Every structure is written in C-alpha cells, then in structure tokens.
Amino acid sequence: MGYESRTQAIYEINNREPIVVGPPSRLEDIWAADVFSLSKMKQCLPKTVFKSLKKTIQTGEQLDVSVADTVASAMKDWAIARGASYYAHVFYPMTNLTAEKHDGFISTQGDGTAISEFAGKLLVQGEPDGSSFPNGGIRSTFEARGYTAWDVTSPAYLMETDNGVTLCIPTVFVSWTGEALDKKTPLLRSIAAMNKAATRVLKLLGHSDIAPVNSSCGAEQEYFLVDAHFANARPDLLLAGRTLFGKPPAKGQQFDDHYFGAIPERVQVFMQDLEKKMYRLGIPAKTRHNEVAPGQFEIAPYFEAANVASDHQQLTMTLMRQTAKKHGFACLLHEKPFAGINGSGKHVNWSVGNATQGNLLDPGDSPHENAQFLVFCAAVIRGVHKYGPLMRAVIANASNDHRLGANEAPPAIMSVYLGSQLEELFNQIANGSMSDNYSHSGKLEFGVDTLPPLSKDAGDRNRTSPFAFTGNRFEFRAVGSSQSVSGPLIALNTMLADSLSSIGDLLESELGKGADQNTAILTVLKDVMNKHSAVIFGGDGYSDEWHKMAVEERGLLNLPTTADALPTLKEKYVEELFERTGVLSPVELESRYEVYAEQYVLSIEVEAKLVIDMAKTSIYPAAMRHLTDISQTIAVVGDLGIELDKGNVQKVVELTNSMMSKVSKLASAIAKEDFGSSEEHMKYCASTIRPVMDDVRADADALEAEIADDLWPLPTYQEMLFIK
Ligand code: ADP
Ligand code: MG
C-alpha cells in the first residue's frame, strides 16, 4: 500500500492538468471590491450616519449604536446584491485560528412568507455557542455565554467560495461578564493604552496638534507548499502539520540555490490567484519570493494599522490554505515542517505613528523629529529589557520551539539590534556626551541640531537578532509562521505604553524642575541607557559566547522551550503591567496562560501518539517486509553455496528492535496522568516526551536509509520538497 500510494502520487502529479486562473485583472478593477469600505459606506449611507461611523473608525470614538440599524440595512443590501444570503460574525479565539458563526438573513413572517432582514442589533452583537472555544477557566467562574460584538474599525467583507457568498463582520469575542475570550479585544485595548501614553509624551515634547497614535504592522509570512498527493499520504502532515519522520535528502538547501531562484510556474500561478483574492478583500499583498529552503516561499503585504493588519493576516492564512487546496497543494504554515532545513517564521514589522507627527520610529532628518525618535526608540529599548521574557512567552508554542534557538532562527533570548550607527549614538547618550566625539557627524544636539542624516539602513540586517531595528520600524523576527500576530502586537504595544508612561513621568518631573527641553530629554535618555542598555546586542545571536554573555553578564533570560517561557505570564510584574495598562485583567491573563499551556501539552501528546502509530503501523511493517524479501534471497543464494553480506539485515534488525523499544517507552511516558500543575505537565512534555519522540525518529530515519526504497511507505523528503 505504501509503495503504491507514493508512486501513485508521483503519477498523478506528472499527469496533472495545469490550473487556469483566468487573465490577470487590473488592480484598479478589483481592489477592495469585496469590502464594505468607507467609500462604499459614503455612497449608501445618509450623511449623518456616515459621519458618525467615520468618526468612530478614524478617531476611536465610541460607536453611536443608534446608527446600527441604518448601517446594517445598507450592508445587507450590498451583500445581497452580491449574492450573499448569510452573514457571519468573525472572531479570533485564543487559538491561532479564525472562528465564524453563520446566520441567514432570512426572517419568516406570520403569513408563511420569508424576507431578508438584518437588524442593527444583529450587526452589533452576536451570541455564538461559546462553550466550545478555549477559555482557560473563565467560564467555570463566570457565565457560560460568549458574545461577539462588531468591531467598527475593521471593515466588513464578502467571503466568496465555490458554494456561495457570506458577509463577514469582524468582531470581538467576550464572556457574558465582559472578559476577553479572544485576541482582538486586548489588541484594541493595547492600542488605546499606547495611544494614551504616546500622546502624553508628544505633549511633553512640545506638540499641541496630536492625532491618535496607532501602531502599524506588516507581517512577512513564510510557508511551504507540498503537493497534496504527498501530504495526504503523510498522517503526520495531515494531523500535526509537520513531518515526524523523514531522512534528510541528499540535496537540501546547501547550494543556496532556491532563495533567489525563479519561482516555479505552478507556484507562481498559485501566488497570483492568492494575490487576486487578497486584493479583492483589500489586503495589500506586495512582495513574493522563494525562501531559503526548497519548497519554501514568502508573501508580505504593505503594512497597515495593527488591528486591520492582524485581521488581514488571519484572512491571508485562511486564503493561503484554501487557494493551495484548489491548486492541488497543501500549504504548510507550521514553524518546522521538515527537519534539517529552515523553518518558517512570521516577521512582524512594527512601528507607531499618527497623522500629525508621522512615523515616530523614523529617525528622519529634522531636529524635532529626531528628539522624538530617540525618546520613542529608548522607550522600545526599555520595554524589551523589562519585558523580554514576555515577548518570548507570547510567541511560545510547541511548533515555534523547533525554531527558536535551533541555530537557524533567532535565539530564545530577547535582545535588541539597533545597527552600528544607532548603537553608537545611544552609547554616546549613555555617557552624557552628545556632540563632538560622535563619529558620524560633527555635532549632535537633538532638538536643535540635526542628527546626522541616518541612512535608511541604519538598521542593517542582522539575521540572528530576534528583534531588529530596520530603518524606520522594528522587526520582531522570532514570531512563528502559524501564529496570530495579535499576541506579539499586544505585547509590543503594551510594553511601549508602559515605557512611555514611565519616560513621561521622568520627563514631566525634569521639566517641572525647570530643565530646558533638551536637557530634560537627555536626562531621560541617559536614564534609560543606564538601566536598560544590557538588552542592546549587535553581534552574532547564534553564538555560544552570546548565550553565555547574555545570561551570565547581562542578566537576560534564555527560555528555550514553551515550558520555560509560558510561566512568565504568571509573574507578578507581568500581571501588573497588563492590569496597569488596562489591557488584560489578572483573570484574563491567567486564562490565557491556562489555554496556551493546555494547547502546548495537547499538541505534544497528539504528536507522540502519531509517532507511536506511524512507527508501529507503517515503519515496522516496512522493515518486516524488507527483512522477508532479503532473507529469502539470502537463503536462495545460500542454497547455491554463495554467501551474501548480511550487514544490512543485522542493521535493520537492530534499528527495528531499538525503535520498537523506544516506542514502548514513549507509550508509557504519555500514559502518565497525575500532574500537580500546568507547569509541571509542560516541563514533562518538554523534557521527557519530546526527547523520546526524537529517539524513535532517529531510529526510523536510519531505517529509511537501509530499507528498499520501493518498500518505504511514506513520501520522502526528496519527493515532497522537489516534486512540484
Ligand atoms: P525584508 O527585507 O525584511 O524581507 P519586506 O519588504 O519583505 O522586508 O517586508 C517588510 C515589511 O515591513 C513590509 O510588510 C512593509 O510594509 C513593512 N513596513 C515598512 N514600514 C513599516 C512601518 N512603518 N510599520 C510597520 N511595518 C512596516
Ligand atoms: Mg524581514
């Protein structure tokens, strides 16, 4: 069976009909065509209603619910004209997935007829059966109900599939008593907290006209494409999203020939189809290219406001999976689908800014902006130093553990890379000298004199840093490819809010003491550098020296696994951070910890069970068949008086016995049930279960190198990575 399905898969792929996606469309014709955008609202809403709604969207002012009926009715008419008969409240539970509840517009009348109806209250609020979403205990303490509520700031859109059109409405998801059960609610709160703190600092810096400050996000998404015929023949890819077995191919990524290579035609057709769908939904897809590993690619949009970017990122992942399926691919978003070659990340490019002061992390070239830049940049540095372990915790899951610290991805130690120019500048600030001995310019007195025009590559590339300044934004490179960007954005916005309010306090007190603005700013920056410069690191983040230095000399934490990182969410200082900023209550934070801990344990248990299954039902039988074939031959040849080398037989027997004894060990390891706490359970998974899984795999992969290829049951790395 195994052999047949592998050859069958290759046969099918060789004979596949190319997918035709139709002629390319003009961007202008399709851009945001499926979005209930501001311009569409302007066309179909009464002026007063439109004005009120626009104000909420652009300034964050509270929604006037009296406009809901009018908006709902216009939305419904637009959707029905486009073929929709259902609407869905879309929300983002504490998984990395997107959830939706679909309802028809249908309303039956007393006389037995039916009409389409969409009342304002249905737009504003929904009640999905919340009980099946992870809630980390919130619902055992509170009411069992969950509510969704319309997020006016993220536009509604039409989701088109072969089977129909649905009006989708982005919503928050909260419990009966208002606790956030999702990722959007805290993201919106973190933006509000950051806005408040940033506005205060901008005021202290002398601004009076200050538009709301928002954070921006541009997320680069890495992924693998594998032909669906192969993926369907691999239970591990189907259930765990990664290969649990597989010998490295003779050719991996050592030639570095994939990265800049031409995109395979079939993949390019997939990409174009995907981008077209994204454009229709107003998602600004911008960059596409091959990635380092064979079969690996990247897509990046132009950046957007964090909340919309986050919704669009979720939608992008959904569209990627759907579109891949249509093209006969499986789209793997797992962080480490294949051992031995690069894994996939999601680089979260993040900045903060507003309409009046612009990008606050842009070094720029005007004096005023530079002071501003230095203050905001210092706030980020302080944030990463104080809350680095939190940044590690929000990207912790079983799959990302395979990347972080695995010598091809950022280390599990959080540090900031500034680039040499900025690093030098901040070191000067630490010493309180700001002028003559700065090598890149004669004189530097920010606030009055112009900073040396910092070239845009002030943040040069340092691929080994988890968090790098890249010219006018920070790039959080340690985020995993399957993860929602909300968690990282919440952490970044919240720690920035905290830093800005601490910096604001000091600035205010210095100014209050009569210091002039330059002196006050220098005092603040110096203070940050004195306390937090330990987190700045421009060297090789993969090196052993850094791991030693970071921990021993700089006091930074190295948290290699989720079991090490996640308990940070239970630390008092983290609880206080979220409570102080109003982003998460202690109960909400604790529920997140419980949900993520449970997800970690569950995903490792699923993988362990799969390892046992596959070893017993695929790999062991293949070894037996191989031994039967070979020993028959050895016997026949032996009858002729010719001795055959039995090395292979011996090896296969040894490896099979060894593998099966480890399988038994794994089976008894996962049978353990009595754990005192989630921490203990996570630690057990990380330090006991995972290593035994790796041991089983080591024997199985060694067997793959010994067993006749035509008896090997699973599509090989070579086939999955190189056959398109
Ligand atoms: P890289 O060179 O790191 O591969 P890309 O061009 O692929 O960079 O992606 C960079 C991402 O950063 C894009 O999504 C881009 O829109 C985004 N970006 C640029 N400026 C900002 C900003 N101010 N805030 C957030 N993201 C930004
Ligand atoms: Mg990048």
Pairing state between β 296-301 and 467-469? unpaired
Each residue of 370-424: pLDDT tens digit? 789 999 999 999 999 999 999 999 999 999 999 987 766 788 899 999 988 888 8
* pLDDT over threshold 80, residue 365: no
Q: HSE-up of 550 (CA within 13 Å, CB side)?
A: 26
As a whole number of angstroms, the distance between CA 331 and CA 317 comes to 9
DSSP-assigned letter for residue 75: H
- Least confident range from 148-152, 162-166, 194-198, 366-370: namely 366-370
Three-state secondary-structure class, residue 407? coil
Query: What percentage of the chain reaches a pLDDT higher than 90?
Result: 75
Please tell me the residue having the least CA distance from ligand 1 atom 8.
220
Q: How far apart are the CA of 493 and the centre of ligand 2, in A?
A: 20
Residue 323's Cβ-side half-sphere holds a number of Cα atoms within 13 Å equal to 24
What's the N-to-C CA distance of the chain in angstroms?
23
Residue range 213-238: average pLDDT? 96
DSSP 224-283: EEEEHHHHHT-HHHHHHSS-S--PPPSS-STT--STTSPPPHHHHHHHHHHHHHHHHTT-
Residue 550 CA to ligand 1 center (angstroms) comes to 28
Residue at 284: amino acid letter: P
**Is residue 21 very low, low, confident or very high in pLDDT (cuts 50, 70, 90)?**
confident
Structure tokens at 252: 């991996």
Contacts of 23 (CB under 8 A, 6+ apart): none
Using the atom order of ligand 1, give the atom closest to the CA of residue 217: 25
**Ligand 1 atom index nearest CA of 472:** 23
Candidates 321, 343, 320; CA nearest to 400 is 343
Whether the predicted pLDDT of 214 surpasses 80: yes
Beta-carbon count within 10 A of 632 CB: 10
Question: Where residue 144 falls among pLDDT bands split at 50, 70, 90?
Answer: low
Distance 521 CA to ligand 1 centre (A): 29
**Which pLDDT score, from 0 to 100, does residue 177 have?**
82
Burial degree of 185 (CB within 10 A; 0-12, 13-18, 19+):
buried
pLDDT in the model for residue 281:
97
Helices (H) and strands (E) in the chain, counts: 25, 17
Answer left, alpha or beta for residue 81, where phi above 0 means left and psi between -120 and 50 means alpha. Answer: alpha
Pocket test for ligand 1, best of 214, 215, 220, 283 (most atoms within 8 A of CB): 220
**pLDDT reading at 600 higher than 80:** yes
Q: What is the mean pLDDT of residues 596-616?
A: 97
Instruction: Tell me how far apart the alpha carbons of residues 434 and 705 are, in angstroms, rounded to a whole number.
Output: 63
Q: Which atom of ligand 1 is nearest to the CA of 351?
A: 24
Give the residue, out of 303, 352, 493, with the most ligand 1 atoms within 8 A of its beta carbon, to mutate for a pocket test.
303
Q: Is the pLDDT of residue 128 over 60?
A: yes
pLDDT of residue 452: 46
Selection from 519, 512, 495, 194 nearest residue 371 by Cα: 519
Ligand 1 atom index nearest CA of 300: 14
Ligand 1 pocket test: pick from 191, 217, 289, 349 the residue with the most ligand atoms within 8 Å of its Cβ. 349
User: What is the rounded average pLDDT of the residues 487-494?
Assistant: 98
Amino acid at 426: F
pLDDT of residue 442: 35
181 pLDDT band, cuts 50/70/90, is very high
Q: Is 144 helix (H, G, I), strand (E, B) or coil?
A: coil
pLDDT for residue 262 is more than 50: yes
pLDDT 10s digits, 23-73: 888 999 999 999 999 999 999 999 999 999 998 888 878 888 889 999 999
Average confidence (pLDDT) over 254-282: 86
CA of 413 to the centre of ligand 2 (A): 19
Taking CA atoms only, the protein residue closest to ligand 1 atom 19 is 303
Average pLDDT taken over every residue of the chain: 90
Q: Which among 300, 284, 482 is positioned nearest to 395, based on CA atoms?
A: 482
Mean per-residue pLDDT, 483-508: 98
pLDDT exceeds cutoff 60 at 429 = yes
Cα(518)–Cα(499) distance, integer angstroms: 19
Q: Which of 264, 280, 378, 385 has the alpha carbon at shortest distance from 327?
A: 264
What is the pLDDT confidence band of residue 19, given thresholds at 50, 70 and 90?
A: confident
- What distance in Å separates the CA atoms of residue 21 and residue 16, rounded to the nearest whole number? 15
Contact at 8 Å (CB) between 590 and 182? no
Atom of ligand 1 nearest to the CA of 298: 7
CA distances from 69 to 9, 35, 75, 566, 701 (A): 53, 19, 10, 44, 62
Give the helix ranges, DSSP H, for 474-571. Answer: 486-512, 517-532, 544-552, 562-565
Pick from 624, 595, 610, 555: nearest CA to 682: 595
Q: At what angle do helices 486-512 and 306-326 cross, to 10 degrees?
A: 160
Q: Which ligand is nearest to the CA of 298?
A: 1
Task: Please name which of 62, 56, 346, 311 lies closest in space to residue 183, comparing C-alpha atoms.
Answer: 311
Crossing angle for the helix pair 647-671 and 586-614, to the nearest 10 degrees: 150
| Confidence tier at 4 by pLDDT (50, 70, 90) | low
pLDDT category of residue 531 using cuts at 50, 70 and 90:
very high
pLDDT of 366 strictly over 70: no
pLDDT value of residue 176: 81
Distance CA 561, CA 572 (A): 21
User: Distance between CA 480 and CA 391 in Å, rounded?
Assistant: 12
Residues with CB under 6 A from ligand 1: 216-218, 220, 287, 300-303, 347, 349-351, 359, 472-473
Q: Which token pair is 301?
A: 């949009």
Task: Tell me which ligand sits closest to the C-alpha of residue 477.
Answer: 2
Crossing angle (nearest 10°) for helices 367-394 and 517-532? 30
Q: Is the torsion defined by CA of 578, 584, 587, 591 positive or negative?
A: negative
Q: Is the per-residue pLDDT at 161 higher than 60?
A: yes
Q: Is the pLDDT of residue 679 over 80?
A: yes
Measure 644 CA to ligand 1 centroid, in angstroms: 62
Tokens describing residue 63:
């929604």
CA of 362, closest atom in ligand 1: 23
More confident residue, 439 or 344: 344
Position 368 pLDDT exceeds 70: no
DSSP letter, residue 83: T
Residue 475 CA to ligand 1 centre (angstroms): 8
pLDDT grade, residue 135 (50/70/90)? confident
Residue 340: how many other CB atoms lie within 10 Å:
15
Dihedral sign from CA coordinates of 189, 592, 220, 99: negative
* pTM for the structure as a whole: 0.94
pLDDT bucket at 163, cuts 50 / 70 / 90: confident
pLDDT given at position 433? 65
Q: Structure tokens of 52? A: 């009120």
Q: How far is the CA of 571 from the centre of ligand 2 (A)?
A: 31
pLDDT at 256: 66
Q: Examine the pLDDT at 95 and tell me if it is beyond 50.
A: yes
Mean pLDDT of 587-615: 97
Distance 219 CA to ligand 2 centre (A): 8
- Of residues 327 and 1, more confidence is placed in 327
Residue nearest to atom 14 of ligand 1 (CA): 218
Classify residue 375 by its DSSP letter.
Answer: H
CB atoms within 10 A of CB 6: 21
| pLDDT for 660 beyond 70 | yes
535 and 388 Cβ atoms separated by less than 8 Å: yes
* Percent of the chain scoring above 70 in pLDDT: 92
Lowest-pLDDT range of 190-194, 404-408, 498-502, 519-523 = 404-408
Is pLDDT above 60 for 240?
A: yes
Q: For residue 106, how many C-alpha atoms fall within 13 Å in the half-sphere facing its CB?
A: 9
What residue type is 65 in one-letter code? V
Of 432-441, 449-458, 615-624, the one with minimum mean pLDDT is 449-458
